[in-house]
Structure 1
Amino acid sequence: MMDARTRALQALIRLRQTEVDQAKTALAEAVGKENAALDLVEKRRALIESEQERAVSGQVSMDDFRTWLPAGRDAVEQAQKALSAARQVSDQAREVLIQANAAQKAAQAIMDRRLEEEAETRARREQTEIDDLSRRNRMG
């Protein structure tokens, strides 16, 4: 039968595991957004290269390309800013997960020590009972 302290530790471990699960979910979402932001940066850079190739090949005029290029560069810059922000969110989510894992492991370590102490106490009681029975048998 579990005592109140052991039940409280089990509840704490469940709570910590829930926090770990939530942190993993948040990290997965953050990494997904970071990857999407990275894809957008790459697409916008590729668009500049594509437009430049079109201008060089004569498909569009160089004047049109020069007129468009600042907007293309601005789009890349905005995408890079969004990527930077997404990376910060991912980094924060990683830190939250690291902390949640540490808290969960600490709670589990406390529980493990508690269970070891209980096992040692039971073993000592059993040994005491065995010793008492042996003494009674020798006396009798």
Structure 2
Amino acid sequence: MERSPLETLIALREQELDLVERRFADAVARETAAEERLNAAQEEILSEQRLASSPTAGDGAVEAFSRWLPSGRQAVVEAQARCREAALDRETVRSALIAARAAMEAVRTLREERKEEERLEGLRKEQNVLDELAVRQFGRT
């Protein structure tokens, strides 16, 4: 049996939806990874600060921390930027996902409407046959 254009469209919409769902999952994973890098960079600053401020730390540890701190802060700034980019990417893909789901739902609704129209047409034909039989058999209109 040949596939109807509507069934072909549904298959295409399903493929599109699957692709966008995978892209969304990837975007969420990238965002999660970016947040983890940010947390790690922030935690590294705190850890280094604890070491430098330890009662057993010498002047060298404090000086090393003060020299390292700008690069630690830069790592945090860069991680924050990656988080913002990942969040924007996720929202962009999320919008595409919403559109793909809406398109899929529209096609499914159209298919159901067509099935209902076909069912009603079948009932009308059946009723017409019954009416014609009644006219033939009983002479009524």
TM-score of the superposition, structure 2-length normalised? 0.91
Read off the aligned partner of 1:41 and give its amino acid letter: L
Read off the aligned partner of 2:91 and give its amino acid letter: D
Task: Confirm whether residue 22 of structure 1 aligns to residue 24 of structure 2.
Answer: no
Matches within 5 A, 1:67-86: 67-86=67-86
Residue 112 of structure 1 and its aligned partner are, at CA, apart by 1.2
Note the residue ranges of structure 2 that are not aligned, 5 or more in a row.
none
Read off the aligned partner of 1:135 and give its amino acid letter: V
Residue 94 of structure 1 and its aligned partner are, at CA, apart by 0.4
Residue 63 of structure 1 and its aligned partner are, at CA, apart by 1.4
Residue 115 of structure 1 and its aligned partner are, at CA, apart by 1.1
Percent identity between the aligned chains? Answer: 35
Note the residue ranges of structure 1 that are not aligned, 5 or more in a row.
none
The residue aligned with 2:88 is: 88
- Give CA deviations for 1:1-49 in whole Å, capped at 9, x if unaligned: 88x8xx1111111111111111100000010010000000000000000
Task: Confirm whether residue 126 of structure 1 aligns to residue 126 of structure 2.
Answer: yes
Point out 4+ residue stretches in structure 1 off by more than 6 angstroms.
none
The residue aligned with 2:115 is: 115
The residue aligned with 1:104 is: 104
Distance 2:50 2:72 in 1: 14
Residue 108 of structure 1 and its aligned partner are, at CA, apart by 1.1
The count of residues paired between Structure 1 and Structure 2 equals 136
Distance 1:108 1:38 in 2: 38
Distance 2:105 2:18 in 1: 13
Residue 83 of structure 1 and its aligned partner are, at CA, apart by 1.1
The alignment's C-alpha RMSD in Å is 1.6
Distance 2:5 2:115 in 1: 13
Residue 111 of structure 1 and its aligned partner are, at CA, apart by 1.3
The residue aligned with 2:53 is: 56
Residue 86 of structure 1 and its aligned partner are, at CA, apart by 0.9
The residue aligned with 1:38 is: 35
TM-score of the superposition, structure 1-length normalised? 0.91
Read off the aligned partner of 1:88 and give its amino acid letter: L
